[in-house]
Structure 1
């Protein structure tokens, strides 16, 4: 009778499995594919960003670097024909910083910028809060108030130059009619002590609509529930404004002030159309000095120095203000 017990070793070859290299190869290929995926995604991201980077480098990076280099060169109209612009070290910088006009222009720029920002922001915020309350014809009145922002700045400056004329201006005529000024009027643009104040006033009028629109949009994003809860707690208007409106508007306020500073500190066309930097250089700013040195005196090296100072001031203000606002926001969280 044959034995049912299998012979030893009879099925060992059948049970022995030969390891195929296919799984290992598949795992290696999968690992390789997985490793290439982040690289491919990174390349795609850079491809999408590349046009913007090229645009920034071409139209912002190159002029900035060229302006810095030019500030260390003796760059004159002759350079455009000969191509020779010898380096003169710090001579341009010394000449600019030793000139009293640069110091006066720096002071005038600070006064013009601070005065304009305070006026534009304060009046713009007041108008934004006023229009946040719904009433008849609110949209029409807001549209009318946008007109100063839509009109080109040079056109606004020319109109205001006529209005502020000492002899035939509408402002002096109206003020004299109510007995606020003498018959000869106020020399709004011809007096060194008043001209800068007049330029600030005109710039405030131009910048109010921008501040009002941006701040009005920020006010619409504040939940109404917060005001209702404050009203139920007995909070007054000023306390509600200080405790709810201003903290909620902080990001919008940052944008308004930074953009307002950038556009105001370098302003040129408004002052050129109003006073051309006069009288007696009382309205000269860094922007007008840059224009005067570069395009009137044709000293492009010294003009580049003032331009670099202007860029540096703008960059420092933006970085410091944004960092301070970010720190305050983090504490608020």
Structure 2
């Protein structure tokens, strides 16, 4: 009988080799586990972000009709839809309205939200209750908020005009006048966006240590100087996130404008969001290609500001 000593030496695997093989199998197992955890996120991003973006790009590069949309045989048209959009008389007014609506909304939402956040850091009685009440516009569905503002700004029976007439002023055609329509939807959007700015900026203020303010006060800094030279610079990262998220959200606001004015009268409150919808679904003969092209222009605008934000963050970190 052959003993273990008589077996060839090459049949015994060296211990370092076995350890390396075990480590390799363990690494592969950990990689598979990591991919298993990532799989739901990857599938979600592909299904609800990548594929819709691809379809929207495909729509903008083809000449779609209702028939070709159903059959899927629309001819390739290149950049013709983009040329149609840019040459349309509505393009430049819609671009101006989009920029104005977004810019004015962001400035007032951030300014009022920051003012309220600083106000609530005083920790007075009923502060928590008032903060909760300020969240109501943010919690309401947009269709409810838009309908409420449509009633408030109604030319004949609206509460705002009733107050103006009681004070001796003439009523304003808020929603039916080309002069006031864009202003009306901006006011409503500011009201909706203030709570988000308040909550996030208040959280940022709470994260600033009190010792910093106390040190600045001991150095003789006034209340305004403490805010401008200490609080506001420390709040800059949070402010950047608030402004970026507000920008992306405001660029795509559709429900509010469509319910209140439908982009009118005479396109005076038309933005890219409402214009894209009107191209695609607002006519008896929908124009899916131009509608998708306008949507892609909105995406490009949001991406540009997103990239600027990333670049600013990198500069601050470096």
Aligned with residue 272 of structure 2, among 265, 286, 291:
286
What corresponds to 1:111 in structure 2? 100
For the pair 1:190 / 2:179, whether they are aligned, the reply is no
Q: How does 1:1-333 map to 2 (within 5 A)?
A: 25-179=14-168, 181-182=169-170, 185-297=171-283, 298-327=286-315, 329-330=316-317
Q: CA deviation at 1:312?
A: 1.0
Cα shift at 1:22: 8.1
Shift of 1:188: 1.3
CA contact (8 A) 1:293 1:300 kept: yes
SS, match of residue 90 in structure 2: helix
Which structure 1 residue ranges, 5 or more long, are not aligned?
1-18
The worse-fitting range, judged by mean Cα deviation, of 269-278 and 21-30 is 21-30
Measured in 2, the distance between the counterparts of 1:55 and 1:35 equals 30
- Following superposition, the deviation at residue 178 of structure 1 comes to 2.1
Secondary structure of residue in 2 paired with 1:78: helix
Cα offsets for 1:185-238 (capped at 9, x unmatched): 112112112111111111001111111011111111111111111111111111
Determine the C-alpha separation between the residues in 1 that align with 2:151 and 2:255: 16
Two-structure CA RMSD over aligned residues (Å): 1.7
- What is the distance in 2 between the residues matched to 1:192 and 1:81? 38
What TM-score, normalized to structure 1? 0.88
Q: For residue 43 of structure 1, report the CA deviation from its aligned partner.
A: 2.6
Of 88-97 and 198-207, deviating more is 88-97
The C-alpha deviation readout for 1:72-94, integer Å capped at 9, x for no partner, is 11111112443321112222111
Any conservation in 2 of the 1:254–1:322 contact (CA below 8 Å)?
A: no
Please give the secondary structure, in 1, of the residue aligned with 2:122.
coil
Q: Secondary structure at the match of 1:278?
A: coil
> How big is each residue's C-alpha offset from its partner over 1:119-170, in whole Å with a ceiling of 9 and x where there is no partner?
1000000000000111111111111111111111111111111111222211
The answer to which of 144-153 and 280-289 deviates more is 144-153
Q: Is 1:72–1:301's contact at 8 Å kept on the other side of the alignment?
A: yes
Distance (Å, rounded) in 2 between the aligned partners of 1:63 and 1:275: 28
Distance 1:37 1:251 in 2: 40
* Distance across 2 between alignment mates of 1:140 and 1:24: 72
Distance 1:238 1:326 in 2: 29
